[in-house]
């Protein structure tokens, strides 16, 4: 029988239900009972549970669940739950109350956890080949790193994607009432066709930060039983003038006001519906009207991604641009096995849809600053030249989607140089518009290396441009990273209806994209 130091084995037996073995142990010091399930599941799960048998329906034990997560006199931590979330790349961390027990589970597919880089810096630790670290920036960006065997000066293999998507943002003074309807005033974010966002069920996501620093997280509209929200459109019977307008003017930006309620508060003369909504916000979420000033809330299409087609070959969902590239980029690093030759990185950034601006966009200094911290932890030295050489010698796939060829709108594409849905991952040597304005133009040598990597890994790939030359265009984060002198090429998958509330991709393309990212991390080399 297998031995576990510090534990006494009570029994061990086959467990067909879990496709493995089940072992019951007791901890020699604390006397705690341990149930160990061992099988081929890639997830590593751990949970602490204890009996909480309620004697009435007051909800005391649910309150106790949260009280445990509020610290104590012996463990004076303001929010240990949040501290744990920040200290690990755990895939799942939660607290759950059942009718007879309370459980605190933790799970991750990672063999080796990713340490918080800033904890490494604060503790004066050093990093070596094989170590895994991450850094979150302003709760909007995240960077993952696996330290390689080669010196940092040799550069990194980087997957860079953005995690923002076009949406409807809530203004800072949004709540008002008009003719017995309560509204939230909005400001659209990124490039959208405004008429596509009316007459749809919408969900509210985001955070409200109160003056005392408390953060209230909102996610309303996606769970079963949740209410949804709505932007009205003009009925066809009265839309003669509207139907004569250009698409850009059919719905004006200032008309994207979200309906959030209509029931008035009794015995209230001024804004009774608004007052009733404020009561709900206070009672259910602890939010006052003034708290909207320090809130970041957005409205997005309500509902989950769905299989598309009788054959279920496609996925319809919100935000494929660019989460369909961000997720496989992150997964490729998380699932990397062993110690890489070159340091690996996944950089998931914000604000790309509005020009990569602000403190969390790729145009900010946070990536460069993070790299300086990382290099200092690896080399034990703070040499600016090492940072410059590392960035200059790096290789990057700017993981962003491409415009899929749409037969319904074939006139805007040049088919020989278009991204075809179902033909695999797409490389855009350049983006920009018209005469390559705003583009990163990848070097031919780097394109050749990427071709070799894909062919050796049996990745199905294609090349494309973003539509006909004079029709329009677009950009990614590639040109920003290219300023360091690193080799960068855009690499993603074709998307139909890009920037619409619901976008469409092929499952085949998504799989080939993930294969490509994994192959690039292993195969990219110095020139």
Flag whether pLDDT at 68 surpasses 80: no
Would you call 512 helix, strand, or coil by DSSP? helix
Q: Quote the pLDDT of residue 89.
A: 64
d(CA 233, CA 302): 17
**Same fold across 7-108 and 167-301:** no
Q: Quote the pLDDT of residue 376.
A: 96
d(CA 156, CA 148): 8
Q: Quote the pLDDT of residue 74.
A: 74
Least confident of 70-74, 188-192, 271-275: 70-74
Q: Quote the pLDDT of residue 160.
A: 96
Q: Quote the pLDDT of residue 88.
A: 64
**What are the sequence ranges of the domains in the chain?**
7-108, 115-165+319-523, 167-301
* Per-residue pLDDT band at 75 (split at 50, 70, 90): low
The CA–CA distances, whole Å, from 344 to 330, 393, 464 equal 11, 13, 26
Q: Which spans in 69-149 are helix H?
A: 80-87, 117-122
Q: Quote the pLDDT of residue 341.
A: 96
Q: Which fold does the domain 115-165+319-523 belong to in CATH?
A: Aminopeptidase (3.40.630)
**What is the per-residue pLDDT across 252-303, written as a single tens digit (0 to 9) for each?**
999 999 999 999 999 888 999 999 999 999 999 999 999 999 999 999 999 9
Q: Quote the pLDDT of residue 431.
A: 82
Mean pLDDT across the chain: 90
Mean pLDDT of the 54-61 span: 76
Our measurement of the distance from residue 349's CA atom to the centroid of its chain's CA atoms, rounded to an integer in Å, reads 9
CATH number listed for the domain at residues 7-108: 3.30.830.10
d(CA 327, CA 63): 35
DSSP 291-342: GGGGEEEEEEE-S--EEESTT--EEEETTHHHHHHHHHHHHHHHT--S--SS
Q: What is the pTM of this model?
A: 0.83
**What is the per-residue pLDDT across 209-236, written as a single tens digit (0 to 9) for each?**
999 888 899 999 999 899 999 999 999 9
Using CA of residue 274, residue 278, residue 283, residue 285, what is the dihedral sign?
Answer: positive
Block residue for tokens 């608004």: 274
Mean pLDDT of the 436-460 span: 92
- The residue length of the chain stands at 527
**What is the maximum alpha-carbon separation in the chain?**
82
**What is the per-residue pLDDT across 459-517, written as a single tens digit (0 to 9) for each?**
999 999 888 888 877 788 899 999 999 999 999 999 999 999 999 999 999 999 999 99
Q: Quote the pLDDT of residue 146.
A: 97
Q: Quote the pLDDT of residue 527.
A: 80
Pick from 347, 205, 181, 350: nearest CA to 273: 181
d(CA 464, CA 277): 49
Q: Quote the pLDDT of residue 84.
A: 64
Bridging pattern class, strands 7-15 and 92-93: unpaired
Superfamily of domain 167-301: Aminopeptidase i, Domain 2 (2.30.250.10)
Pick from 498, 491, 320, 490: nearest CA to 409: 498
CA torsion, points 130, 131, 136, 137, in degrees to nearest 10? -90
């Amino acid at each position: 029988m297998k031995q576990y130091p510090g534990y006494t084995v009570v029994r061990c037996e086959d467990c067909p239900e879990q496709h493995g073995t089940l072992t019951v142990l007791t901890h020699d010091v604390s006397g705690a009972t341990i149930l160990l399930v061992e099988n081929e599941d890639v997830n590593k799960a751990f949970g602490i549970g204890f009996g909480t048998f309620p004697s009435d329906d007051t909800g005391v034990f649910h309150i106790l669940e949260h009280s445990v997560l509020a610290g104590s006199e012996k463990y004076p931590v303001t929010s240990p739950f949040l501290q744990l979330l920040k200290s690990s790349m755990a895939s799942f961390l939660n607290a759950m109350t059942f009718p007879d027990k309370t459980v605190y589970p933790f799970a991750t597919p990672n063999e080796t956890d990713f340490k918080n880089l800033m904890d490494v810096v604060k503790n004066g630790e050093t990093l070596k080949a094989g170590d895994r670290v991450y850094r979150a920036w302003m709760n909007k960006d995240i960077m993952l790193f696996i330290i390689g065997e080669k010196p940092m000066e040799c550069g990194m293999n980087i997957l860079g994607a953005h995690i923002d998507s076009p949406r409807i943002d809530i203004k800072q003074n949004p709540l008002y009432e008009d003719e017995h309807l309560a509204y939230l005033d909005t400001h659209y974010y990124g490039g959208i066709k405004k008429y596509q966002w009316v007459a749809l069920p919408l969900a509210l996501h985001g955070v409200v930060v109160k003056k005392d620093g408390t953060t209230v997280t909102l996610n309303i509209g996606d769970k079963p039983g949740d209410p949804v929200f709505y932007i009205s459109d003009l009925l066809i019977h009265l839309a003669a003038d509207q139907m004569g307008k250009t698409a850009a003017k059919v719905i004006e930006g200032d008309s994207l006001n979200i309906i959030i309620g209509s029931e008035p508060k009794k015995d209230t003369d001024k804004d009774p519906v608004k007052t009733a909504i404020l009561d709900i916000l206070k009672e259910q979420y602890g939010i006052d009207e003034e708290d909207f000033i320090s809130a970041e809330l957005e409205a997005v299409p309500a509902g989950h991604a769905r299989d598309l087609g009788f054959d279920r070959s496609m996925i319809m969902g919100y935000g494929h641009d660019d989460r369909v590239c961000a997720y496989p980029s992150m997964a490729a690093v998380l699932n990397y096995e062993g110690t890489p030759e070159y340091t690996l990185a996944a950089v998931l950034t914000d604000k790309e849809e509005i020009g990569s601006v602000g403190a969390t966009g790729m145009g900010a200094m946070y990536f460069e600053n993070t790299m300086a911290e990382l290099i200092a932890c690896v080399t034990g030295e703070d040499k600016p030249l090492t940072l410059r050489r590392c960035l200059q010698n790096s290789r990057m796939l700017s993981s962003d989607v491409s415009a899929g060829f749409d037969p319904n709108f074939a006139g805007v594409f040049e088919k020989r140089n278009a991204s075809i849905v179902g033909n695999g991952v797409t490389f855009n040597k350049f983006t920009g518009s018209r005469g390559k304005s705003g583009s990163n133009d990848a070097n031919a040598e780097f394109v050749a290396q990427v071709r070799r990597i894909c062919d050796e890994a049996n990745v199905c790939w294609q090349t494309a441009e973003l539509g006909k030359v004079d029709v329009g265009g677009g950009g990614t984060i590639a040109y920003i990273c290219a300023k360091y002198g690193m080799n960068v090429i855009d690499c993603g998958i074709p998307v139909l209806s890009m920037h619409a509330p619901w976008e469409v991709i092929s499952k085949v393309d998504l799989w080939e994209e993930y294969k490509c990212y994994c192959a690039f991390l292993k195969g990219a080399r110095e020139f």
